A and B are shown apart, each in its own frame.
Chain A
Amino acid sequence: MRRTITINPVTRIEGHAHITLHLDDDGSVADARFHLTQFRGFEKFCEGRPFPEMPALTARTCGICPVSHLVASSKACDELLSVTIPDTAATLRRIMNLAQLVQSHALSFFHLSSPDLLLGFDSDPTDRNIFGVLKIDPELGRDGIRLRQIGQSIIELVGGKKIHPGWIVPGGVAEPLSQDKREQIRGMLPEGLEIARRTWKRFRGLASKYADEAAHFGNFPTMFLSLVTATGGLEHYDGRLRIKDAQGNILEDDVPGDEYERIIGEAVEPDSFMKSPYYRPSGYPSGIYRVGPLARLNNCDACGTPEADEALLRFREMGRGRPVSSSFHYHEARLVEILYGIERIGQLIDDPEILSTQVRARARGNRHEGIGVAEAPRGTLIHHYKTDEQDRMLWMNLIIATGHNGLAINRAVRQVASQFVRGDALEEGMLNRVEAVVRCFDPCLSCASHAVGQMPLRVQLIAADGRILDEQVRPKA
């Protein structure tokens, strides 16, 4: 008798989704699916609006990574204006983008994933939260909060607001940086770097405790997509697209963002509002690839900052000459990128032109198609716009970082479920592992930053005739 287990909602991720596990007669996992159940509709309701509104409108896609949408959208609008933005504006945008990378990665590691990593996947779920972490490691809790504060403070200093700053605009940025703010940013970086260093060192020790999870948490060969610099370095703001295969061979390189449609196709699954992009030459679904920190570190030749490059070398030891394949190592990749982000902000803030007041190029619409590509914390983000003669939006396509990972998330859930789930005995630890593999990707499923209160986890074991054979609800009443 074929049965289905539903995990709804998945906890400790941004947004709302559920997982279904389909079991065979013998209780083995036959299939697993990750469903995004929200519908947003940005592509439709932006139609008809003036394109300069797009950065502010599309930033509302997300309350965690609005800066990523501001960056990608403004880059698409720069193309519609047909302008090259001032160098200082690009540098300031980079600083804000990296500050967001730092705060978002800190959120994922410290707040969402550290309970699993420090307390264990089989620990009591009533303790497996931030308070449980604080009991055994209060310094980690303080570090997480402080690192987030540093990232958000930098965003606020350059952009005026922590969330949804309207400072990145088509043609550049709205205001130059003041000397006072520059010094404030400089002053925060040493503490941020010390926290990043300390956390990276501590986590490298933890990862060895979870060899079984590392072996089965989305550990399979895929391609990897990311931006890299002209010299192959780690890149988050500009650059060209690169795709590597699981053996480390470069399949695509130096691809301008404008040509993304040549290499990326988009499929739609019937049971999810998340699109499933794939590498077009390999077809669907064979063209599965991953994006985000794991992909960026696998694809780049170097980070370009001293401590991050040292950490990258250690990270790559896990791949033994090939790209690191386990999605479990997204966690460590995030910590390496936090190191990089803080070091790189330090380099950029010292740019002698950083206080220049020439930060915006002004023009009317000069083209009717624009594409902006940037690296969001979770991966490559693409905004593609078409406008009419009155500069109103005719058409929009957004490919969100989490969407790129859609096929890989499904496969990772299936792998973990096959390894840890036995349908005749629903145990907390095995279900948590199914959720935890999703957290490795740090999916950002909405702009919902208003959670949470009590967010229950309901798991049902349902017979083919609809009868509920077993049910677990978390937290227990």
Chain B
Amino acid sequence: MSGVRKQWLIVGLGNTLRGDDALGALVIRSLRPLVDSESVRLMECAAVTPELAATLAAVDLAVFIDASQNGPIGRIECQLLESETGGLPFTHGCGIAALPELARQLYGRAPTVYLLTARGGSFDLHDGRLSPATEAMVRPMVERTLALLADDGRDR
């Protein structure tokens, strides 16, 4: 076992002013007291930008957390992101799936990237408060994220 500590990145996506879109940010805030800041970097992002590729290239595992408009209610969807390169009409944002390939091409390495989503109910204007059903997903999201980190930690 190497003495080098693994580095992990957790990104909460979404706009905290848009109802359940704040889910990612609120999960990040719940995680903050539970993780070791030496090995886990927590970020809140309103949008996925190309600059994240540089951050991604420096970690061993990344987990993106987002509210979705589709999918089963009350259940977490966990997706291992595959590389995406073709046909991306690049603007100032980019798709999450494009990030690992961008990191690989630019910096020569990319971590395993998971996307955790839970369906949101309302994305109307609302200041940082979730609907009750989405609020109930914060704790499971936190636990699922910690479980992914624990699994990756055992792999080293």
Contacts and interface: CB of A to CB of B under 8 A. Distances in A.
B87 interface: yes
B90 A115 contact: yes
A453 to B, nearest CB: 6
Contacts of B50: 111, 130, 144-145, 148
A112 B89 CA distance: 9
Interface residues of A, number: 36
Contacts of B85: 131
Contacts, number: 89
B54 A129 contact: no
A457 B93 CA distance: 17
Contacts of A12: 89-91
A126 B85 CA distance: 10
B51 A14 contact: no
Contact of A451 (B53, B87, B92, B105): B92
Q: Is the interface of B mostly helix, strand, loop or mixed?
A: loop
B66 interface: no
A450 B93 contact: yes
B33 interface: no
Nearest to A456: B89
Interface in A133-166: 134-135, 138, 141-142, 144-146, 148-149, 152, 163
A474 B88 CA distance: 11
Contact of A149 (B54, B88, B89): B54
B86 A126 contact: yes
B46 A451 contact: no
10 contacts: A11-B91, A63-B47, A111-B91, A112-B92, A141-B106, A145-B51, A146-B54, A148-B50, A452-B93, A454-B89
Interface of B: 15, 46-47, 50-51, 53-54, 85-95, 98, 101-102, 105-107
Interface of A: 11-14, 63-64, 107, 111-112, 115, 126, 129-131, 134-135, 138, 141-142, 144-146, 148-149, 152, 163, 449-455, 457, 474-475
